[in-house]
Amino acid sequence: MEHEILNFIEEIIEKDNETGKFGGRVHTRFPPEPNGYLHIGHAKSICLNFGLSQKYGGKTNLRFDDTNPEKESDEYVQSIKRDVQWLGFQWNGDVLYASDYFDQLYQWAQKLIHDGKAYIDFSTSEEMAALKGNLTTAGSDSPYRNTSPAENLDLFERMKVGEFPDGHCCLRAKVDMASSNMLMRDPVIYRIKRAHHHRTGDKWNIYPMYDFAHGQSDSIEGITHSVCTLEFVPHREFYEWLLVNLEIYRPQQIEFARLNLDYTVMSKRKLLQLVEEKHVTGWDDPRMPTISGMRRRGYTPESLREFVKRVGVAKRDNIIEFGLLEFCVREDLNKKALRMMAVLDPIKMVITNYPEGQVEEMKFDNNPENEADGSRLVPFSREIYIERDDFMENPPKKYFRLFPGGMVRLKSAYIVRCDDVLKDDAGNVTEVHCTYIENSRSGNDQSGIHVKGTIHWVSVAHAADAELRIYERLFTDPNPLGHEGVDFKTFMNPNSLTTIHAKIEPALTAAELGVAYQFIRKAYFCLDTEATTDKLIFNQTVGLKDSFKGSK
RNA sequence: UGGGCGAUAGUAUAAGGGCAGUACUACUGAUUUUGGUUCAGUUCGUGGGGGUUCGAAUCCUCCUCGCCCAACCA
């Protein structure tokens, strides 16, 4: 009997369901901080968390971890909600916020203080750092560690009402200054920040730290499996310490390895830097590894989900090849994209034996992968544009395209033979002169001629203009962050964006946002959000695979 | 350096004492009115030493390497 392959988290869940640890419940959560846009790494977490609850008949909450008002905003909240839904997931019930629990959290902090398990510390951050010790030597107690609960309770209240300036003091859990886990050396759990919060406004002068908010939020929501990334492994000890000492419901934290992609960076802080320093045009720049950037680039939710699925879930550090993402995008787009003709780098071809002024409408399949997409008519005439690299005066041995004396099929039209070449003073080819084979028309070819190559074209008289944005990887190094002492921006690819002006077939002037197009033999494209009726702009989503290894 | 986590083809991910499998990549070939797609095939792997065992990627042991932790960030 074939056994379905489970990742290690699914194994934990199935074991929990067998033992009845959570009564068979599976309740996960996706807990972003609204301090930036989501990236493909978050997509892994989203697919994991929502995937788990779908698979085991559970629920997934969307909860914003909004405990640091200085860095968070509603703009980010809105973008995150949009990205999660675009990816194809719907959270359980209302959107939740850690800030919903600020009152409860405050009471729990009071309980800790009351129980002698937390204290107000007036040390400066420098003093605290000094007393913390280091990796090899134990820390020592703060002089404020033994203040009485009553006095601490009073001080905490005064912190809350705004009696002290930012950073004047903080609330620390009383754990163990000698712990080998640095996070257990009396971690700060509340700090003074008289900042405006995107949801609670000016109600609070103090805000809980991540460690004091996350586990309790999980607990309040009845989360069963609290899935997070590896860097939180050392936090688990304190996560559990709090739940035990607060005597509240205990979810289980499980850590997995975050997704990394080669030739890019996957850190909100670094991405924010690229945005703020204008190395990209915004969070949704098509070169960004953000979900919004990929959406604008033409990547589909299906392809992203498939990518995440293929990447797998484990605990070892990884850097996924960009090629896998591109494979998933092509695989999806191949099924959906409408085939169109666009000439990216045009030269003119004159079909000398074709009547001047004559126009024929050529039938063209919209998508050979899906007959239901039907066909359209493409105008053909005496003068057409073809791709500059579809012609070579002195071709290498296995060149299937056009050269003097050679023949090619014009896609969905006639076979032509090259008779002559016109050049400018510099020797550049400016025009190719051909004759067409009259009885070789596509769909009714009685010429009996077999040609190796088929090339695309656009009628000069009917062509429209479009701006095409061609993207390459954002960085030239597979791991821009992996060089100690070298700023990651030194590896930025100066050619990450190339703008070209193409000749496109008339049907493309009706291109719509959100529709995938394949510019035949070249690449997948989509209309950019900046396009207007006067100016067509297309983003190259991903190139077609190219196994031609000839010259170049 | 203390503690924690991890190590299987180029990249990911299975094999849970019994034939090291799958996908992507790369390369071959076939088909093709897209040098796309599709199809067929090839190359490529258990970090190192010792041990247990009929048998080890798997168990034990020593070593090596990588990542994380000393924010009033998350």
Q: Encode pLDDT of A300-355 as tens digits.
A: 999 999 999 999 999 999 999 999 999 999 999 999 999 999 999 999 999 999 99
Q: Write down the mean pLDDT value for chain A.
A: 97
> Which nucleotide has its C1' atom closest to residue A414's CA?
B33
Q: What is the pLDDT of residue A46?
A: 98
Structural domain tally of chain A?
Answer: 3
Residue nearest to nucleotide B2 (CA to C1'): A136
Judge if A224 and A268 occupy the same domain. Answer: no
Q: How confident is the model at residue A551 (pLDDT cuts 50, 70, 90)?
A: very low
Q: Is the pLDDT assigned to residue A156 strictly greater than 70?
A: yes
**Which of helix, strand or coil describes residue A63?**
strand
Domain boundary among A256, A280, A299: A256
Class of residue A144 by CB neighbours under 10 A (exposed 0-12, middle 13-18, buried 19+): middle
Nearest residue by alpha-carbon distance to C1' of B10: A321
B45 C1' to A314 CA distance, Å: 19
Q: What percent of chain A has pLDDT over 70?
A: 99
* pLDDT > 90? residue A549: no
| Co-location of A412 and A292 in the same domain | no
Structure confidence at residue A552 (pLDDT): 40
| Residue A209 beta carbon within 7 A of nucleic strand B | yes
Reported in sequence order, the residue ranges of A133-286 that DSSP labels E, i.e. its strands, are 170-173, 188-192, 206-208, 225-229, 252-256
Which has the closest alpha carbon to A109: A179, A177, A202, A188? A188
Same domain, A94 and A37: yes
- Find the CATH number of the domain harbouring A523: 1.10.1160.10
Residue range A487-526, pLDDT digits in tens: 999 999 999 999 999 999 999 999 999 999 999 999 999 9
Catalytic residue among A10, A33, A237, A467: A33
Give the torsion sign (CA, A68, A73, A74, A78): negative
Residue A11 annotated among the catalytic residues of the structure:
no
- Residue A47 falls inside a structural domain: yes
pLDDT at A550: 66
pTM greater than 0.90: yes
Give the pLDDT mean for A377-405: 96
User: Any idea which nucleotide's C1' is nearest the CA of A189?
Assistant: B72
Which residues form the domain of A423? 342-456
pLDDT given for residue A3 in this prediction: 62
């296995």: which residue's tokens?
A398
Mean pLDDT of the A155-183 span: 97
Q: Looking up tokens 């009351």, which residue turns up?
A: A114
Instruction: Confirm whether any atom of chain B, the nucleic acid strand, is less than 7 Å from CB of A52.
Output: no
pLDDT tens string A208-256: 999 999 999 999 999 999 999 999 999 999 999 999 999 999 999 999 9
Average pLDDT rounded to a whole number, residues A71-90:
98
Does residue A287 carry a catalytic annotation?
Answer: no
Catalytic residue among A59, A174, A191, A268: A268
Q: What is the CATH number of the domain that holds A449?
A: 2.40.240.10
The answer as to whether A548 is a domain residue is: no
The residue type at A543 = G
Mean pLDDT of A58-76: 98
User: Does the active-site annotation cover A145?
Assistant: no
Domain end point (choices A233, A256, A279):
A256
Q: A15 φ, ψ to 5°?
A: -70, -40
pLDDT of residue A167: 96
pLDDT average, residue stretch A460-482: 97
Q: How many CB atoms sit inside 10 A of residue A152's CB?
A: 23
Predicted confidence at residue A1, as pLDDT, reads: 39
Q: Which of residues 363-382 of A touch strand B (CB under 7 A)?
A: 367-369
Q: Do the bridges between strand A454-455 and strand A517-519 make them parallel or antiparallel, or are there none, so unpaired?
A: unpaired
Q: Which two tokens stand for residue A153?
A: 């309770």
Name the percent of chain A lying above pLDDT 90: 97
In the 393-412 segment of chain A, residues within 7 Å (Cβ) of strand B are 398-401, 409, 411-412
Last residue of a domain, one of A435, A456, A477: A456
Q: Is residue A184 part of a domain?
A: yes
The verdict on residue A2 lying in a domain is no
Whole-number Å distance, CA A498 to C1' B38? 32
As ranges, strand B nucleotides with an atom below 7 A of a protein CB are: 1-8, 10-16, 23-28, 33-38, 66-74
Three-class DSSP category at A393: coil
Q: Is the pLDDT of residue A544 over 70?
A: yes
Q: Is A198 exposed, middle or buried (0-12, 13-18, 19+ CB in 10 A)?
A: middle
| Position A1 in a domain | no
Which ipTM score applies to this complex?
0.97
* CB-to-strand B under 7 Å, chain A 272-301: none
